[in-house]
Amino acid sequence: MSANNNHHHKNGSPFLNRRSFVAASALAGGALLSRLVSGDERDWSGALPTRYPDPDIVQLDPRFGNYKLGNAAIERLHTGSRWVEGPAWNGVGKYLVWSDIPSDVQLRWLEDDGRVSVFRNPAGNSNGNTFDNEGRQISFEHGTRRVVRYEYDGSVTVLASEWQGKPLNAPNDGVVHPDGSVWFTDPGYGSMSSYEGTRRPLELKEAVYRVDSRSGEMNIVTDEVHKPNGLCFSPDYRKLYVTDTGGPAPLPILCWDVDDGRALRNRRTFCEMEYDGKTGGADGIRADVDGNVWAGAGWAGEGFDGVHVFAADGDRIGVILLPEICSNLCFGGAKRNRLFMTASQSVYSLFVNARGAHFC
């Protein structure tokens, strides 16, 4: 978002021109300690504990009481990146992988000791990441305009790179269906500047695609979204949710019924991203086993940026406030009850009383 807080960029979206984030000047040790003790600023280093219940976990509806834990706090696992995206949990390796798009790397956090290291470099300016039903990583690359799968032997299989003879805009995020198909969004952000990819014209209408990972058959499931971004299936795979980060505010999360695992019908608005007098947008989304939708949210400032939780009927029932814009999230850990959140320059986690609907 630009400094003048104007929500009406080209096509009306604050997402179209992402800004790099300038780190604030470090405070002197004494002044910082004073602010921390007075409660003016939260200590994200972990040196000072957070009093339970965590005040940044906000219940808006009694239903959220079923999912928040009174004795769990938001933790910052890593910071120092440029724009982090695409968290995905590997249950076998017990690690979290994510992308730092401008730095063209994928990073990995190990659960056993909390160590963070470079996982892939270069990474095709990857954005979203996920794992398929056989545990192979799938990445959605801005720089190469590809959807790729990493095989067991380390080789790379290109699942999608073009549509009807034209290169994809810049694949963004994706999910895997039980039939093995990969559904992904192609809004083109990685081709709109050289910060997250390579600046070049968009040759295709923004769309959501389905590609059969075995046959390579590919089709558009919808191109009725201004800028399709994050997406997730409902627990039973009968609904598909897609965030729209383009068009006029307030930016919606849309919903379709999934027809025979191959097509969409009955488009409707699931919810809109207005909260407490502020209007922002949702980016990456995931569903839990009860059908709630957890949405990374931002571009509206303090008191909005973080994770917004919506019940299956579209009501906002809770908010997890972060000090940065939240780009994406996933459930992980042995019980799929740990929420991992990529947020601008950092990665956060929170144990919740919910389980992710899908293994990634």
220-243, pLDDT tens digit by residue? 999 999 999 999 999 999 999 999
Instruction: For residue 34, give both structure tokens.
Output: 């004073």
pLDDT of 241: 98
Q: Averaged over 26-48, what is the pLDDT? A: 57
Query: Over pLDDT 70: what percentage of the chain?
Result: 89
In tens, the pLDDT along 295-337 reads 999 999 999 999 999 999 999 999 999 999 999 999 999 999 9
Flag whether pLDDT at 18 surpasses 50.
no
What rounded mean pLDDT belongs to the chain?
A: 90
Question: For the ranges 34-38, 164-168, 270-274, which has the lowest average pLDDT?
Answer: 34-38
Flag whether pLDDT at 156 surpasses 60.
yes
Nearest 5 degrees, angle CA 227-CA 269-CA 324? 55
The structural domains of the chain, ordered by start, are 26-52 (no CATH), 56-351 (2.120.10.30)
Q: Averaged over 272-297, what is the pLDDT? A: 97
Q: What is the dihedral of CA 103, 349, 236, 66, to 10 degrees?
A: -160
- Residue 101 backbone zone (phi > 0: left; psi -120 to 50: alpha; other: beta): alpha
Q: Which has the higher per-residue pLDDT, 263 or 6?
A: 263
**Size (the chain), residues:** 360
Nearest 5 degrees, angle CA 293-CA 297-CA 298? 170
Flag whether pLDDT at 35 surpasses 50.
no
The verdict on pTM exceeding 0.85 is yes
Helix (H) or strand (E) holding 30: helix 29-38
